[in-house]
Amino acid sequence: MSTASEGRSPGGFEPPTPGTRAGDPPATAPYAEAVSPWTTFDPTVVTPGFAPLRTEPPPRLFATWWLRYLLFLTQIVGIIAVLLTEYAEGPGGLLEQPVVVAPYALAGLLLVWWSAFAMLDAGRLVPGTRYQATSRASVSTLLWFLAFAAPFAAVRTIDWAQDRFDETATGSADSSGDGLVIAVTAVAVLVCFLLVWAPFRYHVRQGQRIGAAPRVMQAWFWTPLLAAVGVLAIDALGLHDMLAEDGMTDLDRTIEVAVVFGVPAMVMTLATWRATTVFDEVIDIRWRRWKHEWEQTLAAMSAQPPPPPEPPL
């Protein structure tokens, strides 16, 4: 056995010397001898018990809170404009009134604007990985425009199919292609539904990537859809007949529009407010955490000892 290993146990424990007790801590060298007065500071090394340090300051973000408030306000104004126009103008031509079209056109523009800025902020705070692509404003903008155009395409396809069936019923067209018309209509409606769902799905994935609750982002799409299905079922069960028992007055017609249109629109407004708020709050929390870690980095750098003097030439 070598001299270096004499007096040591197999586990590397060195017994105390005759002048010390077993419970005494081992002797340590002075700080000046144990640690060099100048060490290279590496902020990427995480110290146990401390938050990770940052090598760069937090990025500048776009302020999206005002877009969120304006979006909520324009949606409320749009619902009120629809009800007042229905009560004052009567049935028909509701979608042609500028007072109705303007708020919803502005709401769509604000939604696209908010989405683009939110994706840019998320991409700056949380870079993409091999399995999760970074947030892109161009992708979200394209998906929103496709979602806005999808309902019109679906209505146009259904009108085309209805005209085809009317021609078949009058005998002016051959009925051999009805099956193909039904298949084309079903596929077109399904594709339009998926196009409407696509931007919401994109926000769900990006929100989950940065830490937002997926169920909140998913509820942005599904709760208004369930509300629309529910009110259509209520209308099919006799809402119109109940209101028209003593004649359909302007007030009765407005109440029907408030139920069939106003309830899903209000649910959509609240779901949009909730989803956009959660997304913005997660971005703000991440930015504040980055800022705190950067401040810790600056404090750790300033606490480093000065470098040793350069040797003389």
Quick one: tokens of 136? Answer: 């892109």
pLDDT higher for 266 or 172? 266
Mind giving me the DSSP string for 126-185?
Answer: S---SSSPPP-HHHHHHHHHHHHHHHHHHHHHHHHHHHHHHHHHHTSS-GGGHHHHHHHH
Reduce the secondary structure of 106-131 to three states and give it as a string.
Answer: HHHHHHHHHHHHHHHHHHHHCCCCCC
Q: Kindly state whether residue 148 falls inside one of the protein's structural domains.
A: yes
DSSP 8-state class, residue 2: -
With a pLDDT cut of 90, the percent of the chain lying above it is 51
Range 26-42 average pLDDT = 42
Which tokens go with 39?
A: 């060490």
Rg (CA), the chain: 33
Classify residue 204 as exposed, middle or buried by CB count within 10 Å of its CB (0-12, 13-18, 19+).
buried
Reading the block at residue 130, the tokens are 């091999």
Q: Which residues contact 201 (CB under 8 A, 6 or more apart)?
A: 221
Q: Are 79 and 269 in contact (CB under 8 A)?
A: yes
Mean predicted confidence (pLDDT) in 215-242: 91
Who wins on pLDDT, 213 or 33? 213
Residue 159: phi and psi, rounded to 5, are: -65, -40
In a domain, 136, yes or no: yes
Residues in the chain: 313
- Amino acid 6: pLDDT: 44
Residue pair 262/83 in contact (Cβ under 8 Å)? The answer is yes
| Contact yes or no for 123/143 (Cβ under 8 A) | no
pTM of the prediction?
A: 0.78
Answer yes or no: is 38 within a domain.
no
Choice between 118 and 296, residue whose per-residue pLDDT is larger: 118
pLDDT tens digits, one per residue of 40-72: 445 445 445 445 567 789 999 999 999 999 999
For residue 206, give every residue at least 6 positions away whose Cβ sits within 8 Å of its Cβ, in sequence order, or none: 119, 122, 135
Q: How high is the pLDDT of residue 31? A: 35
What's the rounded mean pLDDT across residues 287-310? 85
Q: Is residue 45 part of a domain?
A: no
Q: Which residue has the higher pLDDT, 48 or 201?
A: 201
Looking at residue 8, its pLDDT comes to 43
What is the DSSP secondary-structure string of 220-252?
A: HHHHHHHHHHHHHHHIIIIIHHHHTTT---HHH
Q: Give residue 249's pLDDT.
A: 84
The residue ranking higher by pLDDT, 172 or 229, is 229
Asked if 200 and 225 touch (Cβ cutoff 8 Å), the reply is no
- 211 in a structural domain: yes
Residue 108 lies in a domain: yes
Does the structure show a pLDDT above 80 at 23? no
User: Residue 183 domain-assigned?
Assistant: yes
What is the residue range of 155's domain?
65-297
Report how many domains make up the chain: 1
Residue 312 belongs to some domain of the structure: no
